[in-house]
């Protein structure tokens, strides 16, 4: 009888523990996108108010969304701007395009045009972010540059920050650019999630994947550079290094820099790496 009572208690404790674990896992599964995407809202000022010559742009996605964006032409004459290299930037998972203005300022001062756009759900845009949705958003940005501005692929470069590396690397498998810079890329989203949630079966739970390493491995003849911080506590530097190895990319390791440090947003190392990529790829 005593043994039966102990077994019953053990069964009850086990059931309670499993129930709690199931509740936590279920809750995280349901709320996972709120743990991945951290959009800052709008509205944002006019492009010309944040940088001289800036242009307000509306991107139209294939599923019917209108997304706000800014185009910043390269500094110099109008003729120079018409023939300048153009960088399509896909931001990371947080903030909005307003936080990339200083990067655009530095890049345009070096004779490179830049398109900054906000994903769905970011910067006052409609919709909610998902991997599939962000793929549609970046395609709309690409199509705008190619179809409306007439930018040829030989002058078009991609820049992806962290999660944005997943966005532009997927785009590159459809529309290879003249070159691509990936800043703090992970190998895939599940790999970095497993670092932060080692007790969760993240590969079974994740809805969004962003397979950066697989994407870059599928590319041929696309010059790439990977920039990362050696003190990154969000995306392990080893994952960025692995992406660089798979891509055959040049590496720029910023000593002592963490994932969200300003030096990795618009610092000299990032701007120089982008400039070098564009200069070496000019045709």
Looking at the structure, tell me whether residues 6 and 68 fall in a common domain.
no
92 and 177: one domain? yes
Q: Let me know if residue 143 belongs to a domain.
A: yes
Q: Which of 216, 280, 278, 246 is nearest to 83 (CA)?
A: 278
pLDDT at 10: 56
Query: Does residue 72 sit in the same domain as residue 2?
Result: no
Please check whether residue 35 lies inside any domain of the structure: no
Is there a domain that residue 19 lies in? yes
| Strand-pair category, 66-72 with 113-117 | antiparallel
Place of tokens 């599928």: 218
Token representation of residue 254:
């910023």
Together in a domain, 21 and 161: no
Question: Does 256 share its domain with 157?
Answer: yes
The helix-helix angle for 101-108 and 268-281 (nearest 10°) equals 40
**One domain for residues 180 and 259:** yes
Dihedral sign from CA coordinates of 160, 162, 164, 165:
positive
Please indicate, yes or no, if residue 101 is contained in any of the structural domains. yes
- pTM confidence score: 0.90
Predicted confidence at residue 7, as pLDDT, reads 56
Tell me: do 10 and 107 sit in the same domain. Answer: no
Which two three-digit tokens encode residue 207? Answer: 């809805």
Helix, strand or coil for residue 261? coil
Any idea what DSSP says for residue 61? Answer: -
Task: Tell me, yes or no, whether 26 and 153 share the same domain.
Answer: no
The DSSP code sequence of 79-127 is: HHHHHS-EEEEE--SEE-GGGGHHHHHHHHTTT-EEEEE--TTSTT-SS
Tally of domains within the chain: 2
CATH code of the domain covering residue 217: 3.40.50.1820
79 with 118, same domain: the answer is: yes
Range of the domain at 153: 40-281
Identify whether 275 is part of a domain: yes
Q: What is the mean pLDDT of each run of 10 residues along the chain (283 residues)?
A: 59 47 51 90 95 97 98 79 92 97 97 98 97 98 97 97 98 98 98 93 94 97 97 98 98 98 98 96 55
17 shares its domain with 118: no
Q: What H or E segment, with its residue span, contains residue 70?
A: strand 66-72
Q: Could you tell me if 180 and 96 lie in one domain?
A: yes
**Cα distances (angstroms) measured from residue 30 to each of 18, 22, 205, 207, 241:** 18, 12, 10, 10, 32
Provide the pLDDT for residue 283.
Answer: 41
Q: Please indicate, yes or no, whether residues 167 and 109 belong to a single structural domain of this protein.
A: yes
Answer whether residue 141 is part of any domain: yes
DSSP 121-189: TSTT-SS---HHHHHHHHHHHHHIIIIIS---GGGEEEEEETHHHHHHHHHHHHS--SEEEEES--S-H
* Residue 254 belongs to a domain: yes
């Amino acid at each position: 009888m005593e043994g039966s009572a102990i077994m019953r208690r053990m069964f009850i404790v086990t059931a309670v523990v499993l129930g709690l674990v199931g509740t936590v896992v279920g809750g995280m599964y349901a709320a996972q996108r709120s743990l991945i995407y951290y959009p800052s809202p709008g509205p944002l000022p006019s492009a010309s108010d944040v940088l001289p010559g800036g242009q307000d742009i509306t991107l139209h996605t294939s599923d019917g969304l209108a997304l706000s964006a800014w185009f910043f032409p390269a500094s110099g004459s109008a003729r120079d701007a018409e023939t300048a290299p153009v960088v399509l930037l896909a931001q990371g998972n947080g903030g909005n395009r307003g936080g990339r203005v200083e990067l655009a300022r530095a890049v345009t001062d070096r004779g490179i045009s830049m398109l900054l756009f906000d994903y769905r759900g970011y910067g006052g845009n409609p919709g909610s972010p998902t991997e599939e949705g962000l793929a549609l958003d970046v395609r709309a940005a690409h199509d705008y540059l190619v179809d409306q501005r007439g930018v040829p692929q030989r002058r078009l470069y991609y820049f992806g920050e962290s999660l944005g590396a997943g966005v532009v690397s997927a785009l590159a498998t459809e529309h290879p650019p003249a070159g691509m810079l990936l800043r703090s890329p992970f190998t895939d989203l599940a790999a970095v999630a497993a670092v932060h949630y080692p007790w969760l079966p993240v590969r079974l739970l994740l809805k969004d994947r962003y397979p950066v390493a697989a994407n870059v491995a599928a590319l041929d003849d696309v010059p790439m550079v990977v920039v990362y911080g050696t003190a990154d506590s969000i995306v392990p530097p080893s994952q960025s290094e692995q992406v660089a190895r798979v891509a055959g990319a040049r590496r720029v390791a910023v000593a002592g820099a963490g994932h969200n440090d300003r030096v990795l947003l618009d610092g000299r190392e990032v701007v120089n790496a982008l400039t070098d990529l564009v200069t070496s790829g000019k045709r």
